[in-house]
A and B are shown apart, each in its own frame.
Chain A
Amino acid sequence: MVDTQTITDHERWAGVYKLLDRTSRIHPEFEPQEEIKEFIKTCKILVIGAGGLGCEILKNLALSGFGDIHVIDMDTIDVSNLNRQFLFRRADVGKPKAVTAAAFVNKRVQGVTVTPHYCKIQDKDEDFYQEFALIICGLDSIEARRWINATLVGMRDEDNPDTLKPLIDGGTEGFKGQARVILPGITSCYECSMDMLSKPTGFPLCTIANTPRLPEHCIEWASVLEWSNKHGDRKMDTDDPKDIQWLYETALARAKQYNIQGVTYSLTQGVVKNIIPAIAATNAIVAASCCNEALKIATTCAKNLDNYMMYSGNDSVYTYTFEHQRKDDCPVCSNSSTKLDFRGDKTLEEFMDYLKEKPDIQLKRPGFAVGGKPLYLQAPKQLEEALRPNLVKPLKELFSSGDEVTITDSTLPFSLQAVVTLT
């Protein structure tokens, strides 16, 4: 057996140093320097998410020679994670993912320090994100991605190079995945590609209420209709097993009534949390690509991905790499605002419904203002009541064609400035 104490740095990182000690004909600009090896050992890198992708990313980074890794995740370990989130063991169920993953890597890989942050990304302020050289995301939440993307774009000060934080974003969905490199304010950002996402499919409400045919209909009925009847205004917590159990039992009772098979606890969880089964191989491939990019960006040993790699394992192994273009009217990284055309004789309510449906916007509970004056807000109650009469007014009575409407919504990282042309 090899005594790990006697392994020199050079032996330990022999694989990585093959890339860092030699020049390349493909990438002649690269000059090997000792500082570069030192840089990956000391630069701070942040991993967002310690789930399926996060475990792979942490392992890859540690074994690539990154020495100062931070990981942030708000979740605790569930027994269903254990098949692919290999930094966790059965005894870890219930413990914070970030803490457990960090401890595992710290113990297993000599010379690396992984620092856990068991909290939401929104709990950290700009000073925190400013500390890192590079950020890698392995998230399954669109909202969290939009938030970190908008935060990093907003943090960039063109006069201060240190404020530019490259964001490497990995994502997987079943057999499909993507890895991309975002240089905030330079390349297309996450928000630029929002229109590539399809609207999550809900089920028709009438069918759910009256003629359910699928187990999913019963679950949607329980969560959309019965929940508020039984629990009033209390918000459902899809991370709370008690709430899921209630939904499961309620959906199951309804399924029995309509002779529908297939309502299970995990399907209930899947429907309400919008889960697509996770494939370990997809995570491994996407995480490998992300960490490859991290090493390339940190060391400049090769040209980094520009800027989007999509992978599909559905029929075969397929990848396609392209340069995703910045959206001129991206509400986050572009300074001009979105332009919309809408009929001036339609009401504010009709305008709101249109924005909820529009695939590249997908609002949930939007608030509207023009020039700082509110047209309609969903809360607080007193303000909502005062502004409610505006909902039935035609837009042309509320503002002029070409006015900039400020739209806020929980699904938007910040706001949407929409120049609305009334037709």
Chain B
Amino acid sequence: MIKIWSMKKESLATAGDKKKPKVSAGQIRVQKDLNELDLPKTMKMTFPAPEDLLNFELEISPDEGFYAGGTFKFSFAVNGNYPHDAPSVKCLQKIYHPNIQADGKICLNILREDWKPVLTLNSVMVGLQYLLLEPNADDPLNKEAADDLRNNRRAFEQNVHKSIRGGSVNGVAYDNVISK
């Protein structure tokens, strides 16, 4: 391999100044991710400003699981360092869910510790849908909801049923997110 290193130095000398593309690699990657999306029927996207690809919303209407019947809105904000940084995703409604906090914070591994640049916006969307299908009681943000899920699945189901219709659970009022 020795020879290659010396070649490398020659090329360094002749490389000159590197002309970077005007658009950030992150922006191009978002364009690519979006252009190749193939959304299932349970998902819908909205672009408040279609000329801005870095900020948009996603609606998920699960057709099975605890949260079937509701429509859940998430905001996506992608920064210029994407895909090195994960997109930042928030839930726009106040919902009763073990892994979603009242202020919209979401506990999803691929949005944080398990994010890798090979993942795409599609991976995140699939991850969010999965979170609605299979809430994870072992890694909670809403501890009460997680306890309910772990201790009494039936009661948890009833709590979800009530909360997504705008009811209160454990003294906390949630948003009505029933699909129109």
List residues of chain A with CB under 8 Å of any chain B CB. Answer: 29, 39, 43, 122-126, 133-134, 158, 161, 164, 166, 183, 185-186, 235, 297-298, 300, 304, 335-337, 365-367, 369, 371-374, 377-383, 386-387, 404, 406, 408-410, 412, 414-415, 417
A134, B46: Cα distance in complex, Å:
44
Q: Are B31 and A380 in contact (CB under 8 A)?
A: no
Chain B residue contacts of A408, Cβ below 8 A = 28, 31-32, 35-36
Q: Are B1 and A380 in contact (CB under 8 A)?
A: no
Q: Are A404 and B22 in contact (CB under 8 A)?
A: yes
Given contacts A125-B118, A126-B117, contact A365 B35 (CB under 8 A): yes
A365, B34: Cα distance in complex, Å:
12
Q: Are B21 and A297 in contact (CB under 8 A)?
A: no
A408, B26: Cα distance in complex, Å:
13
Sorted nearest first, the 6 A-B pairs with minimum C-beta distance are A367-B35, A408-B32, A379-B37, A386-B50, A415-B28, A335-B19
Q: Are A369 and B53 in contact (CB under 8 A)?
A: yes
Given contacts A133-B1, A372-B27, contact A382 B35 (CB under 8 A): no
Q: Are A300 and B1 in contact (CB under 8 A)?
A: yes
Q: Are B23 and A379 in contact (CB under 8 A)?
A: no
Residue from B1, B22, B47 within 8 A of A383 (CB atoms): B47
Chain A residue contacts of B35, Cβ below 8 A = 365-367, 377-379, 408-409
Chain A residue contacts of B7, Cβ below 8 A = 183, 186
Q: Are A382 and B32 in contact (CB under 8 A)?
A: no
Chain B residue contacts of A371, Cβ below 8 A = 22-23
Chain A residue contacts of B52, Cβ below 8 A = 373
Q: Are A406 and B31 in contact (CB under 8 A)?
A: yes
Chain B residue contacts of A164, Cβ below 8 A = 4-5, 8
Q: Are B1 and A158 in contact (CB under 8 A)?
A: no
A410, B46: Cα distance in complex, Å:
23
Residue from B4, B15, B118 within 8 A of A183 (CB atoms): B4
Chain A residue contacts of B15, Cβ below 8 A = 158
Q: Are A122 and B53 in contact (CB under 8 A)?
A: no
A74 → B minimal CB distance (Å): 14
Given contacts A133-B1, A408-B31, A415-B31, contact A161 B8 (CB under 8 A): yes
* Interface size in chain B (residues, C-beta < 8 A): 41
Q: Are A406 and B118 in contact (CB under 8 A)?
A: no
A337, B52: Cα distance in complex, Å:
23
Q: Are B47 and A185 in contact (CB under 8 A)?
A: no
B114 → A minimal CB distance (Å): 11
Given contacts A183-B4, A374-B50, contact A158 B12 (CB under 8 A): yes
Chain B residue contacts of A133, Cβ below 8 A = 1
Q: Are A382 and B36 in contact (CB under 8 A)?
A: no
Chain B residue contacts of A412, Cβ below 8 A = 32
Q: Are B11 and A185 in contact (CB under 8 A)?
A: yes
Given contacts A164-B8, A367-B32, A382-B44, contact A125 B116 (CB under 8 A): yes
Given contacts A166-B4, A183-B7, A297-B4, contact A417 B50 (CB under 8 A): no
B154 on the A face (CB < 8 A)? no
Q: Are B45 and A372 in contact (CB under 8 A)?
A: no
Q: Are A297 and B28 in contact (CB under 8 A)?
A: no
Q: Are A377 and B39 in contact (CB under 8 A)?
A: no
Q: Are B117 and A379 in contact (CB under 8 A)?
A: no
Q: Are A367 and B118 in contact (CB under 8 A)?
A: no
A183 → B minimal CB distance (Å): 6
Chain B residue contacts of A380, Cβ below 8 A = 34, 37, 39, 45
Additional A-B contact list (16), CB under 8 Å, known A125-B116, A166-B4, A377-B35? A39-B1, A133-B1, A164-B4, A297-B1, A297-B4, A365-B35, A369-B23, A371-B22, A378-B35, A378-B36, A379-B35, A379-B39, A383-B50, A406-B21, A408-B28, A408-B32
Chain B residue contacts of A417, Cβ below 8 A = 21, 23
B18 on the A face (CB < 8 A)? yes
Q: Are B19 and A336 in contact (CB under 8 A)?
A: yes
Closest to B5 in A: A161
Chain A residue contacts of B34, Cβ below 8 A = 367, 377, 379-380, 383
Given contacts A298-B1, A337-B21, A404-B23, contact A374 B39 (CB under 8 A): no
Q: Are B44 and A369 in contact (CB under 8 A)?
A: no
Chain A residue contacts of B64, Cβ below 8 A = none
A404, B22: Cα distance in complex, Å:
8
12 CB < 8 A contacts A-B: A43-B1, A126-B117, A134-B1, A158-B12, A185-B11, A297-B4, A335-B20, A365-B36, A380-B39, A381-B45, A406-B23, A408-B31
Given contacts A125-B116, A125-B117, A383-B50, contact A414 B39 (CB under 8 A): no
B108 → A minimal CB distance (Å): 19
Q: Are A406 and B28 in contact (CB under 8 A)?
A: yes
A39, B1: Cα distance in complex, Å:
10
Q: Are B36 and A379 in contact (CB under 8 A)?
A: yes
B2 → A minimal CB distance (Å): 6
Chain B residue contacts of A337, Cβ below 8 A = 21
Given contacts A336-B19, A383-B45, contact A414 B1 (CB under 8 A): no
Q: Which B16-72 residues have a C-beta within 8 angstroms of A? A: 18-25, 27-29, 31-32, 34-39, 44-47, 50-54
B180 on the A face (CB < 8 A)? no
B80 → A minimal CB distance (Å): 10
Given contacts A374-B50, A406-B28, A408-B32, contact A300 B3 (CB under 8 A): yes
